[in-house]
Amino acid sequence: MPPEQTARPASRPSRTARIERIFDHAADTRSLFLAPIDSRALRFTPGQFISIVIPLAGETRNRAYSIASSPDRDREADGLSPDATFEICFNRVPGGRGVDWLFERVVGDTIDFTGPFGAFTLDTPPSVESIFLADATAIAPIRPMVHRAASSAHAPIVLIHAAYSADHLLYQAEFEDLAGRDSEFRFEKIIAPEGAIYDRLFAECERRWIRGDSNRARRIYICGVGKGVIRLRDLFRQNGYERRSVLYEQW
Amino acid sequence: MAKLRVIFENGDPERVIEFDPAAAPFHHDGRPGSILDILLGHKIHLEHACGGNCACTTCHVVVKQGLPKLSEAEEQEEDMLDKAPGLTPTSRLGCQAVIEDPDAEVTVMIPRFTINLVSESESE
Ligand SMILES: Cc1cc2nc3c(=O)[nH]c(=O)nc-3n(C[C@H](O)[C@H](O)[C@H](O)COP(=O)(O)OP(=O)(O)OC[C@H]3O[C@@H](n4cnc5c(N)ncnc54)[C@H](O)[C@@H]3O)c2cc1C
Ligand code: FES
């Protein structure tokens, strides 16, 4: 029989945030705007995530949710006022009890979390062309990364956002607006049947950045669900891109 | 029965778990039969901020005995470990390293700090 007492190594301080606002992007995709109750802004690097402590009957689960908003530093650069509130964005998953719990939260509820965590980050705008590839909600960590990449004079940036329907292409207007203002930023959309999203992304990347030229100095950022992310990683790494230039996060 | 001995760098008393690898999964996070899965299934806390998805390194363990008894690290684990402070030649991610051999005897040490605790305090 397992012992009752749980042994704990160095325990990590958790924080609490109140849900200030809820926004539904689509029937199955939602953003929560979270304000730390100690009013201390969460300091993070674009691309990082928080770990939410989800209480289920008789147990807790830790689930990662990327911070979909930008740190204050980037907000200020965009002329927005500093704001301790940050955003997470998530979608329903068949049988997903953790995310179902999140969908049950209402404005005013509190959430316990730790973090920020994660090394899938972009701190300084890359000096070489950067390619961002995101599948539906996996735009969440990419969104602040793109804003940071475009925050000062920068090399070309391409963002390809793929999803199975237009309403799962989140923050479209924002990226279109950025592309309208910034001639070095290109925003491209792919709408494909769910099972074909990664095939389309793979074909597009292979055509343009593998067969299309011999430049292997780009930075690649990939985020999505499942093995398709690993296929994309391998496409770049096995065709001359340096391992450290191909960053990815698989959910 | 396989045996997993757990030493805590923070000085907590060590624990020994005897288990049947064929009975995995023991919990629901990390690879079935992984060190994380075994520990959580036996009510021993190991941090797993990303839910056991090879995206954080909070489950970093240092293998003191039985390294060859663990599943081989895949590229994704190597990529994450690259970023773990206190990395040793026998470091593994608890959510990825699986014990399959029913006669395995493995000892792991759970370090006091991980990359994310460091980056969190740096971010403050
Ligand atoms: C570093 C990291 C960051 C993450 N950030 C986000 C985020 O910003 N928004 C978000 O919605 N999810 C995110 N996730 C996924 C999230 O942590 C949970 O895995 C997800 O909400 C399902 O959890 P669950 O407990 O409900 O389901 P579980 O029973 O744990 O089901 C998990 C299964 O769902 C798949 N899955 C995970 N996420 C999704 C998804 N979004 N769509 C479809 N299938 C999925 C997994 O591959 C796995 O097979 C992230 C995961 C990681 C590792
Ligand atoms: S729990 Fe995050 S890498 Fe193992």
Q: Pick the closest to residue B40 from B53, B59, B20, B54 (CA basis).
A: B59
What type of residue sits at position B36? L
Question: How far apart are alpha carbons A220 and A172 in whole angstroms?
Answer: 21
Task: Answer whether A161's CB lies under 8 Å from A187's CB.
Answer: yes
What is the percent of chain A with per-residue pLDDT over 90, rounded to a whole number? 86
The helix (run of H) or strand (run of E) holding residue B9 is: none
DSSP assignment of B58-94 equals TTEEEEEE-GGGBPPPPHHHHHHHTT-TT--TTEEET
* Confidence tier at A11 by pLDDT (50, 70, 90): low
Q: For residue A51, give the 3-state DSSP assignment.
A: strand
Yes or no: say if A44 and B123 are a contact pair by the CB < 8 Å rule: yes
- CB under 8 Å to B85, separation ≥6 — which residues? B113, B114, B115, B118
**For residue B123, pLDDT beyond 80:** no
Cα A66 to Cα B84: distance, rounded to the nearest angstrom: 20
CB A196 within 8 A of CB A221: no
How remote is the CA of residue A23 from the centroid of ligand 1, in Å? 19
CB A163 within 8 A of CB A135: yes
Per-domain boundaries in chain B: 2-123
Residues on chain B touching A251 (C-beta within 8 angstroms) = 53, 55
For residue A244, is pLDDT > 90? yes
For A140-161, what is each residue's pLDDT tens digit?
Answer: 999 999 999 999 889 999 999 9
In chain A, which residues touch B (CB < 8 A)?
A: 2-10, 12, 43-45, 49, 51, 61-64, 98, 114-120, 230, 233, 243, 249-251
Question: How confident is the model at residue A83, as a pLDDT?
Answer: 77
Of ligand 2's listed atoms, the one at least distance from the Cα of B48 is 1
Quick one: pLDDT at residue B122?
A: 35
What is the Cα–Cα distance from A148 to A155, expressed in whole angstroms? 12
The reported pLDDT for the residue numbered A202 is 98
pLDDT tens for each residue of B89-118: 999 999 999 999 999 999 999 998 654 444
If one counts every other C-beta atom within 10 angstroms of the C-beta of residue A47, the result is: 25
Single out the residue of A190, A45, A22, A200 nearest to residue A117, CA to CA.
Answer: A45
Judged by DSSP in three states, A59 sits in strand
Query: Which CATH code is given to the segment(s) B2-123?
Result: 3.10.20.30
Residue B6 and residue B108 in contact, taking contact as beta carbons nearer than 8 Å: yes
User: Mutate which of B29, B31, B56, B117 to test ligand 2's pocket (most atoms within 8 Å of Cβ)?
Assistant: B56
Decide: A162 and A134 in contact? Cβ < 8 Å: yes
Is the ipTM of this structure higher than 0.85? yes
Which residues share a beta bridge with B26?
none
In DSSP terms, A84 is beta-bridged to none
Per-residue pLDDT of A120-136, as tens digits, reads: 999 999 999 999 999 99
> Which among B83, B111, B120 is the nearest to A115, CB-wise?
B120
- Whole-angstrom Cα distance, residue A17 to residue A36? 4
Tell me how far apart the alpha carbons of residues A145 and A86 are, in angstroms, rounded to a whole number: 15
Q: Please report where in the chains the tokens 């992310």 appear, as a residue.
A: A229
- For residue A59, the model assigns a pLDDT of 84
Locate tokens 């980050």: which residue? A121
- Say if residue A156 is preceded by a cis peptide, omega within 30 of 0: no
Q: Is the pLDDT of residue A84 over 90?
A: no
CB contact under 8 A, A250 and B124: no
Mean pLDDT of A54-76: 88
